[in-house]
Amino acid sequence: MLKKKEKYVVAVVGATGAVGNEMITILEERVFPIEEIRLFATERSEGKRLKFKGDDIAVETLGEKSFEGIDIALFSAGADMSEIWAPVAAKSGCIVVDNSGQWRMHHDVPLVVPEVNPECLKWHKGIIANPNCSTIQLVVALKPIHDAVRIKRVVVTTFQSVSGTGKKAMDELLRQTTDFLNSKEIKSDVYPHQIAFNVLPHIDKFLENGYTKEEMKMVNETQKIMNDNSIKVTATTVRVPVFRGHSESLNIETEKKITAAEVRSVLSNVSGIVVFDDPGENEYPLPIDAAGKDAVYVGRIREDESVERGINVWIVADNLRKGAALNAIQIIEKLIY
């Protein structure tokens, strides 16, 4: 367990990536009690300097003794790095919050969204998993509805920005857009098809059942976080030409009837959710509105007229913040406050 202190030594592993950079920014914004920050990345980034509270911090590479004296390590360096180094960090007495998919479905590793299942932090053994970006915003919206009327089934279609893939994907979208507008040849390196002015119903690898890994992550992680395998989830995940911010269309079937007005009321009283729902004024959540914000935005709330107890909901969140960096930092805030 994390020993309570006035200030903590914090490491960010994968500091030069999009999520790592966001972690550093949010730690500073939220005035997390830091005695010292250590930044780690791959060898090609060694010696690079990143800003934190006005200071230039040198990026280091990982070694067997890197985590000695570190209290908390925020990992966002990919599953391969987490598989190797998260146990090393935990063995050194460090609390690890891992943003990769490596530990999420391990039975002895809690998978946590602080607004949904903070009680699971009590049984961590040194490693805590940060859920998939698309799952985090989904369960934040689902939990209050589930508590009110119990959810039987969710059909979710995502519209995920390219930042979910990383900086190279963002660069590819920008380059393809520029080339398209200048009538140049479109080249695709990150994605199997052109992403500019296009949508790809394909995120991560395809599995034998015809779903992608991203889709099955949403199914399995939702049930684990909600601690209820009776909730049936089916997902279609789509990559769209948006730089930042994931959107999701939810069709929710509940055990008890709940009206659209009641859903608005329930969600309006939940910390971390902003209900933005006035179709008459063309007000509904957009990725450009959510970018840089902490909340999950909910709108287009309406009853599904094709079933007796159904609700349709549209949700948007910044995938780099609430979908990754912010959620990880909210986890460690729960541990220290």
What 60-64 contacts at long range (C-beta under 8 Å, 24+ apart), as own/partner pairs, is 62/13, 64/88
133 is catalytic: yes
Between helices 18-29 and 326-336, what is the axis angle to 10°?
40
Express the helix, strand and coil content of the chain in percent, nearest 5 each: 35, 25, 40
Q: Give the chain's end-to-end CA distance (angstroms, integer).
A: 13
68 close to 47: Cβ distance less than 8 angstroms: no
Catalytic pick among 94, 120, 146, 246: 246
Total residues belonging to the chain: 337
Q: Is 93 exposed, middle or buried (0-12, 13-18, 19+ CB in 10 A)?
A: middle
94 is catalytic: no
Closest CA to 134 of 238, 241, 272: 238
CA distance 133 to 322: 8
**Strands across the sheet with 232-239, in order?**
232-239, 151-160, 246-254, 310-317, 296-303, 273-275
Catalytic pick among 124, 133, 146, 202: 133
H helices then E strands: how many in the chain? 8, 13
285 close to 137: Cβ distance less than 8 angstroms: no
DSSP label at residue 192: S
Active site residues: 133, 246
